[in-house]
């Protein structure tokens, strides 16, 4: 029997560090990542792996080491689509103004 894979999305917030030090006004990045999993349990564990894969570091033009680390990871959200096509919604959030 063929294992059915579902598409999931997860919102990850990355925080920048300069030479390993956090700053009060640190640059942050919000990233929506997509991945497949066969169960909700697998999606819960895989979201952490997917988020960590986005961590990286490099030297900037001043010779400082810039690191991007995971600050927070939201719950995995089932996309409920068999395949991703142009315009497929991969993340949605309901919220109240104010």
58-68 per-position pLDDT tens digit: 999 999 999 99
The domains of the chain are located at 6-78
For residue 65 the two structure tokens come to: 């080491």
For residue 38 the two structure tokens come to: 């066969």
More confident residue, 9 or 94: 9
Whether 84 has a pLDDT exceeding 60, the answer reads yes
24: left (phi over 0), alpha (psi -120 to 50) or beta: alpha
Looking at the DSSP bridge assignments, the partners of residue 18 are 21, 66
- The span from the CA of 98 to the CA of 83, in Å, is 36
- The span from the CA of 28 to the CA of 32, in Å, is 13
- Residue identified by tokens 């103004």 is 97
Beta strands in 1-98 (DSSP E): 6-18, 28-37, 56-59, 65-73, 77-78
Mean pLDDT, the chain, integer? 90
Whether 1 has a pLDDT exceeding 60, the answer reads no
């Amino acid at each position: 029997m063929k294992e059915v894979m579902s598409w999931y999305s997860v919102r990850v917030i990355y925080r920048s560090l300069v030479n390993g030090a956090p700053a009060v006004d640190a640059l942050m990045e919000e990233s929506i990542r997509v991945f497949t999993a066969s169960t909700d349990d697998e999606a819960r564990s895989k979201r952490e792996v997917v988020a960590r894969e986005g961590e990286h570091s490099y030297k900037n033009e001043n010779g400082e080491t810039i690191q991007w680390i995971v600050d927070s990871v939201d719950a995995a959200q089932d996309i409920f689509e068999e395949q991703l096509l142009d315009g497929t919604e991969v993340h949605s959030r309901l919220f109240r103004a104010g």
